[in-house]
Structure 1
């Protein structure tokens, strides 16, 4: 048997006698104790649930279940094998769906969980034809491109939203107060509920759908009822405690008072984050993915309108915490919360349309507590991941505020995340299901091959971006952010922080891919350990750099931030990704043997040479633009536009001359 890229499968098992492929180990195969979470795998038929990696700012859209099948990439088959589609695969001792005989395979799909997705089998028991290596890779990339569209739209409008916010509030005390207040709902949601919700809720729903007589309807209603009630109480308590929550992060004074007001207005977002994540989970169970992918667009549009309304209000010419008017504070705070609310509430009509009916249920059925215990180990490790991550976030927020640069860090990190989010996230999302199935059948060669493919495609996308950002980062910052309340110096600091940290782009993508490999191998422990090392690296570097470069006592950091201390927030973050990528490589080598990263290194080297030459051309344009137009906004815009286009052209031409197979695969002209 060969896999999708033509590799011989050495670790997989032959299909069962009926010819249907298998998605996991046989029922009588239990893994060794050291290799098990003591929980179900993230599968129900061919549907994969991937635990959160907690790297992006929107908690609502990160709990996603994927429905991508290798076989489905070449042909879409009718839903005639519904019983096997709904059968859950387990790592440990199996538990069969109760009264399976009562659910015929030729049902009309009217029950809960009968979405529009295709079944897993061919319907007549005949095995489907294995896709060719080239067709498999083309299918993967086609899936990736289609999944990128919604992400691209939401990220671009989100970027516009952030640019407008910086122009409206600036990078000084008001901007820092707003960003500090707006960061708290994300932190608290993740710590109290987000990690457990995203790692446990979807597997529980998948399992209930596979086992329960009603397809998990009553169990889903019960989970949502309990979670919504808990979210409501938790949100009220946290909002009431806003001033005490803000105190550790912001020093006493007008800035803390403004941050407390913003936090009071923004902390209700916690409820809508949770509600949106739960509704998205149910929609994904029902094979409805579009609304959740596009809903962030509505949030961005609401906030864009909010900024324009803010600009129409009377107020001081220069914003500061003591001069902002009450209407200004209320508009920007309530408008931000309304955006998150709209993102969640817009999903409710689609929930009803999918066939799910809401009913309040709180009393548990006998035996349902076993499900929570069964998945407790996974929840524990993912929660540990969250707690460790938020320690790093808290340190950066504290040091950033102390040096007047938390808004600078936030926006530089936003720019840093955009290339990864637009160019790579959709690729990793598409590659994850086949990688996970290879891990389940213990096909080490296929896992290593997919790891190599993901790393090479990530390098092809991100190494050129790194080269251009190193040169054009400050010009990009000035062009995008030097407007409204944001000074030229503040905008340039955003760009320079981005430029100094751009080296971390490819390591960041690589470590995210490595974490997905560990999750595919049903290992929730190792990603947490890797994250501990990354966060420890970041915290130590941030504290050491703060000790060396902190603003002197008595400095008005909102007007005169400590440039090195602020830049090191982003540099330390990128260095932590390098540490994580190295640790992930070492640990995966111990687990899988040789990873064959020589091919990855060759691809990185070839693309890096082309990127260096392209960056050199862009630098020449930058110097020329500054000589002719000066280093102000005009020179920055000219350098960014002409230098960026020239750099891209040079890099593209040189990479094309190398005839990299990865580039041919992206263009649909061959396999990678």
Structure 2
């Protein structure tokens, strides 16, 4: 018989999913005549209810869950990208922007080294399992949050004091970089480490409770505060061609304090929904058996993060040794690279993680493999056509978005070229992220670390090779391409390792979807390239870039998905039904 899990006092049931409730509705329909005919007081025979099967029957539900989050994620990614573009317009892709970019990276790196990588990878599966406790996992969650705040608070204090050494580690002073300016920004931004980490742990708690919306909308609040900051920065008196020479310079203070305020606002935004979920925080010290388990898993995750950050440090040093603008061009190209994944992949992974964690906890590996296979197929269908169009329209994207205001066409074109040469790595990157979540759902944090060791061992020599063989202006192109090649290596390794652990991964179906999508994307690229040739040069560089961007994007994506719908790919059936319904209503 179906026995509902205990819900802690004050908690709310998650929103009903029609696909989950449908079997129970059918059971009730079958039972009603028997209930009406049975004399009161006599025992009805038990009716066994089968668990809904994994795979196709669950896929529409997963698509709807990730679709709801995609709206918030799309808004977050667009506004996050927009403030980077605005800052490039008012500050140019030069020394000041490079210094701010390096300093803004430091809290992210240290947060990952302390708890960020652990919280986003291991905590959700453990929180899901703790919900089976008598108190619904509240005591475990309180201990975890107490430990996180303590570690992050100490880390913020120590890292702020060590700002000069941290910026020296990231920046190579043989190039056009300005370590002193980056240090000034670091003093203002590193206290935000506490709030970055707090946001991560609060998001994990909400996700484990199947509450996804607030964590998806919180970055929008962050971005809105930064918009106001950039507006104030633009009004501050100063010559954009002169680099600030002291920390008390109004430009440094406005930009640094404004971004720090945005970090605080993002974390605090999650407190009201957490309270509405029924969770009440109180300081709870001590280590129980679950936290010991968390510590064992966390050690391997910390190794994973440490290795990945070594690669990131080398990445930044190679960029700062090149021409001015390299770090900021890389940062914005990487943001554009991640934008499709952030809208599609992150929403899908957020919805998948609790499901995979529950399947792994129940040792239902058939359902776990079903979620992995469906996630891989849906990721391929949605991201491969986008990456193909990015490869064709990359230069137009860079010029259209970054050549306005104080930005230069040459730097914007270099940014677009960096995006184009790395676009092939978008799908492998998304698959690596999905594969890592499967390992963490099985409480295996060792394998992802070993995969990251191999990826970093491949990455570092290639970065130095690119730096030595390319001109300083083109180093950023080589760095972006190296990153994409490393994701290909990681995706292949992850798939082989999962096959060894789980057996049949339904890879034939995934490969079939990849083949169909490659064909469709190739036709989309061909159509986009032909349309781009029709745009006249008389429009000027920026005007021509905008027209190409809209035409190539619309034609390339439209042809790709049109071919996929014509091929009747099963995973797009819900989309096709929805379009048909909308057209019918129209």
Q: TM-score range by the shorter chain?
A: 0.7 to 0.9
Aligned to 2:477: 567
Q: Structure 1 residue aligned with 2:569, among 648, 660, 669? A: 660
Could you tell me how far apart the structure 2 residues matched to 1:617 and 1:415 are? 22
Q: CA deviation at 1:587?
A: 1.7
Q: CA deviation at 1:72?
A: 6.4
Aligned to 1:149: 71
- 1:528 has 2:449 as partner: yes
Aligned to 1:600: 510
CA contact (8 A) 2:156 2:193 kept: yes
- 1:622 has 2:527 as partner: no
Query: Structure 2 vs 1, CA of residues 279 and 448 (structure 1 numbering), >3 Å: closer, same or farther?
Result: closer
- 1:388 has 2:311 as partner: no
Q: CA deviation at 1:451?
A: 2.9
Q: CA deviation at 1:308?
A: 1.0
- 1:159 has 2:81 as partner: yes
Q: CA deviation at 1:656?
A: 2.2
Query: Structure 2 vs 1, CA of residues 230 and 526 (structure 1 numbering), >3 Å: closer, same or farther?
Result: closer
Q: Structure 1 residue aligned with 2:419, among 484, 498, 501? A: 498
Query: Structure 2 vs 1, CA of residues 448 and 375 (structure 1 numbering), >3 Å: closer, same or farther?
Result: closer
- 1:171 has 2:93 as partner: yes
Aligned to 1:337: 260
Deviations 1:32-72 (A, max 9, x none): xxxxxxxxxxxx9899xxxxxxxxxxxxxxxxxx9799996
CA contact (8 A) 2:121 2:437 kept: no
Q: CA deviation at 1:607?
A: 1.9
Q: CA deviation at 1:194?
A: 2.3
Structure 1 stretch displaced more, 606-615 or 184-193 = 606-615
Q: Structure 1 residue aligned with 2:216, among 273, 288, 293? A: 293
Aligned to 2:329: 408
Query: Structure 2 vs 1, CA of residues 77 and 229 (structure 1 numbering), >3 Å: closer, same or farther?
Result: farther
Aligned to 1:312: 235
- 1:271 has 2:180 as partner: no
CA contact (8 A) 1:140 1:431 kept: yes
Aligned to 1:61: none
Q: Helix, strand or coil for the counterpart of 1:484?
A: coil
- 1:346 has 2:256 as partner: no
Aligned to 2:545: 636
Query: Structure 2 vs 1, CA of residues 322 and 661 (structure 1 numbering), >3 Å: closer, same or farther?
Result: same
Q: CA deviation at 1:443?
A: 5.0
CA contact (8 A) 2:425 2:487 kept: yes
Query: Structure 2 vs 1, CA of residues 578 and 286 (structure 1 numbering), >3 Å: closer, same or farther?
Result: closer
Aligned to 2:21: 74
Could you tell me how far apart the structure 2 residues matched to 1:619 and 1:360 are? 60
Deviations 1:546-577 (A, max 9, x none): 121253xxxxxxxxxx21x1111111110011
Deviations 1:4-31 (A, max 9, x none): xxxxxxxxxxxxxx4559xxxxxxxxxx
| Unaligned segments of structure 1, at least 5 residues | 1-17, 22-43, 48-65, 79-123, 552-561
Could you tell me how far apart the structure 2 residues matched to 1:451 and 1:197 are? 21
Q: Helix, strand or coil for the counterpart of 1:234?
A: helix
Aligned to 1:426: 347
Q: Helix, strand or coil for the counterpart of 1:522?
A: coil
| Unaligned segments of structure 2, at least 5 residues | 26-44, 580-586
Deviations 1:435-474 (A, max 9, x none): 4454455555544443332222111111111221111000
Q: CA deviation at 1:529?
A: 1.2
Deviations 1:204-253 (A, max 9, x none): 766766546x6665665555445434433332222122112111222459
CA contact (8 A) 1:396 1:542 kept: yes
Deviations 1:560-599 (A, max 9, x none): xx21x11111111100110011111222222333434333
Q: CA deviation at 1:254?
A: 7.6
CA contact (8 A) 2:125 2:358 kept: no
Q: CA deviation at 1:333?
A: 0.8
Query: Structure 2 vs 1, CA of residues 69 and 587 (structure 1 numbering), >3 Å: closer, same or farther?
Result: farther
Aligned to 1:50: none
Could you tell me how far apart the structure 2 residues matched to 1:614 and 1:215 are? 50
Aligned to 2:59: 137
Aligned to 1:513: 434
CA contact (8 A) 1:46 1:69 kept: no
Query: Structure 2 vs 1, CA of residues 427 and 444 (structure 1 numbering), >3 Å: closer, same or farther?
Result: same
Could you tell me how far apart the structure 1 residues matched to 2:129 and 2:572 are? 40
Could you tell me how far apart the structure 2 residues matched to 1:209 and 1:131 are? 21
Q: CA deviation at 1:407?
A: 1.0
Aligned to 2:499: 589
Structure 1 stretch displaced more, 655-664 or 442-451 = 442-451
- 1:609 has 2:532 as partner: no
Q: How does 1:96-115 map to 2 (within 5 A)?
A: none
Deviations 1:321-356 (A, max 9, x none): 559981111111111111001111223344444444
Aligned to 1:10: none
- 1:195 has 2:142 as partner: no
Q: CA deviation at 1:518?
A: 2.3
Q: CA deviation at 1:147?
A: 2.3
Q: Helix, strand or coil for the counterpart of 1:314?
A: coil
Q: How does 1:417-456 map to 2 (within 5 A)?
A: 417-456=338-377
- 1:647 has 2:559 as partner: no
Could you tell me how far apart the structure 1 residues matched to 2:361 and 2:275 are? 35
Could you tell me how far apart the structure 1 residues matched to 2:360 and 2:138 are? 31
Could you tell me how far apart the structure 2 residues matched to 1:152 and 1:383 are? 30
Structure 1 stretch displaced more, 202-211 or 142-151 = 202-211
Query: Structure 2 vs 1, CA of residues 215 and 377 (structure 1 numbering), >3 Å: closer, same or farther?
Result: same
TM-score (normalizing by structure 1): 0.75
Q: How does 1:358-373 map to 2 (within 5 A)?
A: 358-360=281-283, 362=285, 364=286, 368-373=287-292
Could you tell me how far apart the structure 1 residues matched to 2:510 and 2:274 are? 43
Could you tell me how far apart the structure 1 residues matched to 2:6 and 2:462 are? 45
Could you tell me how far apart the structure 2 residues matched to 1:220 and 1:595 are? 33
Aligned to 1:557: none
Query: Structure 2 vs 1, CA of residues 138 and 594 (structure 1 numbering), >3 Å: closer, same or farther?
Result: closer
Could you tell me how far apart the structure 1 residues matched to 2:50 and 2:115 are? 44
Query: Structure 2 vs 1, CA of residues 254 and 326 (structure 1 numbering), >3 Å: closer, same or farther?
Result: farther
Aligned to 1:115: none
CA contact (8 A) 1:138 1:668 kept: no
Query: Structure 2 vs 1, CA of residues 142 and 210 (structure 1 numbering), >3 Å: closer, same or farther?
Result: closer
